[in-house]
Amino acid sequence: MNAGKLFILLGIVFLIIGVIWTFFGRLPGDISFKKGNFSFHFPIMTSIVVSIVLTLIFFIIGKFR
């Protein structure tokens, strides 16, 4: 794979991650805790969704290699 195709592919991957992060940044199932001036946010569902999307993307890339 030449460098041009690799950069296009990486751009598409980052675009998809950015769209998911923007629209699904706080999904039901994400853990948020706030007490006083301390806050904790663990995006477990967002992590699962991003993992599934990346798995599909890399599976498709593997099929074309």
The answer to whether residue 22 sits within a structural domain is no
pLDDT in tens, 17-61: 788 777 766 777 788 889 999 999 888 887 888 889 889 888 888
Residue 13: C-alpha distances to residues 9, 20, 21, 46, 62 (Å): 6, 11, 12, 16, 14
Bridge partner list, 30: 28
The answer to whether residue 16 sits within a structural domain is no
pTM over 0.75? The answer is: no
Residue with tokens 């948020």: 32
pLDDT number for residue 6: 81
The boundaries of the domain holding residue 55 are: 28-65
Domain count of the fold of the chain: 1
pLDDT number for residue 38: 93
The answer to whether residue 34 sits within a structural domain is yes
Q: Has residue 1 got a pLDDT over 70?
A: no
Q: Has residue 3 got a pLDDT over 70?
A: yes
